[in-house]
Amino acid sequence: MEKSRNNRKILIEKSNIRLLRIEFLKTLSKYREEGRPIVYTDESYVDSSHSGSKAWSDGSVKGLKKPISKGQRIVIVHAGSEAGFIPNALLLFKAGTKSGDFHDNMNYDNYTKWLRSQLIPNLPPNAVLVS
């Protein structure tokens, strides 16, 4: 981030990064024109005691009790395209680390195993994978 003449912060992007994005988008557009399925992957998590910070009430209850701890964390990994989620590609598992960052659980070994055993065998023909 840099500041402009009027002291507003502005995002300055390096030319090589912009060119890489343009090339990526052109390639993706070419694949779409060829009718190839574009499959995106992502991972996330949810804590077993997740609760919202607000709720509706009829006024008979004075407040919400939130859990003291976040509870067990579940890691979610999946892939999908315009046609929906890839069948049999869902990976759910209990997090085993105490670092607080779910990325520690989805490491190279876990990702490679999921990719080889669940995702690749279930991809549609001629698919392009974006992760």
Can you give the residue ranges of every domain in the chain?
37-130
The whole-model pTM stands at: 0.70
Residues of the chain above pLDDT 90, percent: 45
Q: Residue 118 has what pLDDT? A: 96
Residues of the chain above pLDDT 70, percent: 76
Q: Residue 100 has what pLDDT? A: 54
Q: Residue 105 corresponds to which tokens in the numbers above?
A: 């659980």
Strand blocks (E) in the chain: 2-3, 9-10, 38-47, 73-81, 84-85, 91-94, 128-130
Question: Given a cut of 90, is residue 47 above it in pLDDT?
Answer: no
The more confidently predicted of residues 109 and 88 is 88
How do residues 19-31 score in pLDDT, each as one tens digit? 999 999 999 999 9
Question: Given a cut of 80, is residue 89 above it in pLDDT?
Answer: yes
Q: Residue 33 has what pLDDT? A: 97
What is the rounded (10 degree) CA torsion for 29, 32, 33, 36? Answer: 140
- Rounded to an integer, what distance in angstroms lies between the CA atom of residue 77 and that of residue 16? 31
Question: Given a cut of 90, is residue 58 above it in pLDDT?
Answer: no
